[in-house]
Each structure stands twice: as C-alpha cells, then as structure tokens.
Amino acid sequence: MNPSRNLTYPGNVLLIDGISGAGKTMVTRLADGYKLTTSPAFNYSLEYLSILHSLEKLDTSTAQLLIQLNFDQRRYDGSISREVNLRPSDLSSVLKSSKRKDYLLSLLKNDSAEISDERMRAQPNLCFVTHQLNGATKLIENTLLDQYFELMCVRHPYYLLSHWESYVHLLGTSPRDFTLWLDVGGANVPWFIQRNVNLYLESNQINRAALCIIEILQQTFLKMSKSDPRRVVIPFERFVLSPREIITEIENRFPMGNSNLIDGILRREKVPRDHINSGRDLPIYKRYGSGSLKSSVDMKDDFRAQEINAQRRLSPEIFDELRILSDKYLEEFGEWFK
C-alpha cells in the first residue's frame, strides 16, 4: 500500500520568494492588502520538502503528497486562527495585517466546518514567504499547476553584501538558523552553495557572504531564463522608485481581488520614493543606509561606493564573479541611478 491524498481543499497558493535582503517584507505587506489573499506567513516545512526534492533526496510522489498535506493543514489552521503569529514586534505578525480583525475574531469562534469553509472561500489565496528557493519551487509548480503563483524578489548584489555579512556567520553554526545544511567532510554548508563548496569553506566571513549572493542570484537568473506566466519578478530598485507597472502586472496576472488599501500600504513603505534607500526608519533597514540619499547624484555615487567597498574587501577571484553578476543585473533590469 502507498500513501495517498486524493481529497484536498480548493484554492491557490501565492509564494513570495527571493534572496534574503531583497524586500520580501515590503512585498508581503503589499500582498496582504488584497482581499483574496491570506496574511503571508513563513513555511519552513515547505522549504525543506522542496529543497530535499531538488537534491533528489525525496521522490516526487512522496514529496507531492507531503506538500499537499502541508497546504491543507495550513489552510485549515489559518481559517480558525490556529498557530498565527501574534507577536507585536514581528514584521510578519498578523497584528500588522490588514486582516487582523478577521484573525482575532476567528480565535473566539468554534472550529466548525461551516466557519472554516467560509474563511477559506473569502481568502482562497494561501500566501507563504520562503527564502531563496529559486529552482527548488519546481515541485510546488508541478503539484499545483495553474493554482500556483509566485512573486520573486531580487536586488542588486552590491546592496546585499552588508546584510549577508551580518548573517552568514550563523549558517551551519547556530540552532537559530533554519537553513538546510549539507554535510561536507564534517563541515556544514548551506544547501544553495553547490558550485563553490571548497572555496566557501576556505573563505572568511565577507567572502562567504559574497559567495552566497553569487550562488543564489546565479540560480535566480537561471530560473528567470525560462519565462513562466505564473511568475512576476520584482526588482527592488524599480519597485521602490516606480511601483505602478509592477503592481499592474501582478493584478493582471494573478486573481488577487480588489483592494482599496494598496495606496496606503505604499505610503507607509515610502513607495514611490526619490532614492532607493530612503525607506522606513526601522532597524532592519538601517544596514542599507535608509534615508541617507539626498539626490540622484547621491544614488550614482552610492552605487560606485558600494562597488569600491566590495572590491576592497573581497578577494580578487570572488569580486570578479560579483562584478560579472552586477553587470548581468544591470543588463536585465536597467540602471536606476542615471
């Protein structure tokens, strides 16, 4: 006998994926503002299943069964406000959601089928936030087919360097890091380091940070080389300077439902803005120099300063790869600092 799952709740799944530091927190607030979408939530089990399948550690039929169970469990639990994040200080808390009233009221109701079904019908788009899955989303795509949609967040590699430098030391060394690690001769390496394993192990913290960015964005561009109508790519720089074109594309591609909240959400995120780093005054954004740019000349000078800093601190071999990736990014998405 084989495990089976031939009954499932109806509805779509919207995935917000992309490299850490590319603006996913901002995009989750945008997605939350649409009527038909649940409040975005992290789903680490979904990440692990997708990654293990991509590494050929889990067969397709078993992985698809487990993913469908995960979706059904999360859809039902969300409909009765079970396991929702109520921490006021978290950016992902439902208390910061436009639907917080619905979630709080559901806490006080019973878990009858009628009540949960009503919530699922009202918000059929189950929304999850994941971390740099890139091509590992193939399992989800092939399981859900036309019920799958994705917002892929990207950002120029130079502007990711400080974020990753502050984080990379946790990879493989701290139980607080929930990245899937691979054992390489007794050393832990993050799963997405697939091409430069030995170089990663030999490198210091800043060079390891750059290697993470290089490997992840190379995988991102590889995924982007195959167009998919279920995917909208959100380059951070273009979105914060001029968001309307991207928002229109999302609304035309995906069944998000109407929203009269989007303008207010954009204002709170200081979008559109004159300068890419002039975002909200939050500690998480301080590392990007939030509010430090004063003119378009500043943006051009800042880009050059970021490049010089990377060249000064990285090994020549790794900086050359990062510079090539920078050129690729500018070719794909254009210059924002003209």
pLDDT tens across 197-227, in order? 999 999 999 999 999 999 999 999 999 999 9
Chain centroid to CA 64? 21
* pLDDT of 49: 97
* pLDDT of 294: 52
Is residue 183 a contact partner of residue 192, using CB atoms and an 8 Å limit? no
**Contacts for 116-124: CB closer than 8 Å, 24+ residues apart:** 116/76, 116/79, 116/80, 117/79, 119/78, 119/79, 119/80, 120/9, 120/10, 120/11, 120/75, 120/76, 120/79, 122/36, 123/35, 123/36, 123/37, 123/38, 123/99, 124/10, 124/11, 124/12, 124/36, 124/255
Q: What is the pTM of this model?
A: 0.92
Rg (CA), the chain: 20
Given a cut of 90, whether residue 97 has pLDDT beyond it is no
pLDDT tens across 225-279, in order? 999 999 999 999 999 999 999 999 999 999 998 888 999 999 999 999 988 988 8
In the chain, % of residues over pLDDT 70 = 95
DSSP state of 230: T
Given a cut of 90, whether residue 326 has pLDDT beyond it is yes
β-partners of residue 153 are: 18, 234
